[in-house]
Amino acid sequence: MPYLFTSESVSEGHPDKVADQISDALIDYFLAYDPNSKVACETLVTTGQVVLAGEVKSEAYLDVQDIAREVIRKIGYTKSEYMFEANSCGILSAIHEQSPDINQGVERKKKEDQGAGDQGMMFGYATNETDNYMPLPLDLAHALLREMAAIRREGKVMTYLRPDAKSQVTIEYSDDNKPQRIDTIVVSTQHDDFAKDSVMLKQIKEDVINIVVPRIKKKLPKRVQNLFGADINYHVNPTGKFVIGGPHGDTGLTGRKIIVDTYGGKGAHGGGAFSGKDPSKVDRSAAYATRHIAKNLVAAGVCDEVLVQVAYAIGVAQPVGLYVNTYGTAKVGQSDGEIAKRVAKIFDMRPYFIEQRFSLRTPIYAETAAYGHMGREPKVVEKIFNKGKKSEKKVKVELFPWEKLDFVDTVKKAFKIA
């Protein structure tokens, strides 16, 4: 029997995502000036206030207030009527030195013996239902908000848009788990005040349907475009007026949107957030590594869908376990347990080797903090830190390296796939 599956996304202006972006900007700055930095940084944002807290071991000295303001400005909180504005908000820093008790479990005489920064389990997932091997409902939910952010910055249409927004997409699947149609699209966007609420609601709904959705469809493969039927249920700003938003409307915290960051509820999640953590924290680095494994397995033709779990003990380099679930879609004549054993031989999951495989001690994290850490396009860019200052630094980095399909040939050879 057909079934419905739903995923949500939130915009870069959502208060939790504001917090994530500030935390990850701090990570990037620390790594740009000291690649050996150990950082766990949390951010809280509310009306007119930012609070930074966490533990750091680094040779770098940063103007954390300036970095936070730069992030807030870039997101678009630049007007006093938002009640949270880059130049005027108060910023309190309570960042202190990392506990030596934690650090001793990570650093070793031999780099390859580097222990996991914490215990826990991390999951990676991939499916062949989209070109980027992501679940379609989440992929579309992200696309809606990325397009609305682009429209807001262009300033030509929908000029009433403010930074805070949420989306949700429901897809109908067939019995064999193939997307059949888009059932429901939900969009809630912060906006300027209108003279009449009835005019506002009508205008925003029409613009989402007639401006945002067509712009997204043009960028999608034909098979996905065909899922946009005339019978989609649209709920646009269903609660009505949404003028008060962002950190003024709701307090934001780092790490509260972990399902948005990953797979939209598909697969599984170990519970650990990513943003604000340097790569010695396996919550982050091993989640990227398991996504890389899952994506390369599906791309190589081992299976149509897969969930990969890895688990660690704090201070121990070797994982305590590696688990694979192909949901019955394996094509290689092996059980999931046999596939897992072979995967463990292909991919070295010790923390040091994960860091080396993806160059994780480079400043690549600010870009991950909105619209998902997975399913993004790997690319090389030059980033500038402290632009225009004496301490200005330019760094060339590769973003989203865990999304590369660089192990497909190795996987095919290991599983004897032609």
Binding-site residue numbers are 14, 16, 42, 55, 98, 164-166, 241-242, 250, 256-257, 273, 277, 281
Q: Give yes or no for a contact between 225 and 182, defined as CB atoms under 8 angstroms apart.
A: no
Distance (Å, whole) CA 75 – CA 83 = 14
Q: For residue 253, how many other CB atoms are within 10 A of its CB?
A: 19
3-state SS record for 264-302: CCCCCCCCCCCCCECCCCHHHHHHHHHHHHHHHHHHHCC
Give the strand order in the sheet containing 161-173.
3-10, 161-173, 179-191, 233-236
Could you tell me if 373 and 261 are in contact, meaning their C-beta atoms sit under 8 angstroms apart? yes
Q: Which two tokens stand for residue 119?
A: 């215990």
CB 98 within 8 A of CB 57: yes
Q: How far apart are CA 288 and CA 361, in angstroms?
A: 14
CA dihedral 76, 96, 37, 358 (to 10 degrees): -50
Annotated binding site for ATP: 14, 164-166, 241-242, 250, 256-257, 273, 277
CB atoms within 10 A of CB 95: 17
Q: Which residues are annotated as a binding site for L-methionine?
A: 55, 98, 250, 281
Q: Which residues are annotated as a binding site for Mg(2+)?
A: 16
- Structure-token pair, residue 405: 């399909």
Give the number of residues written for the chain.
Answer: 418
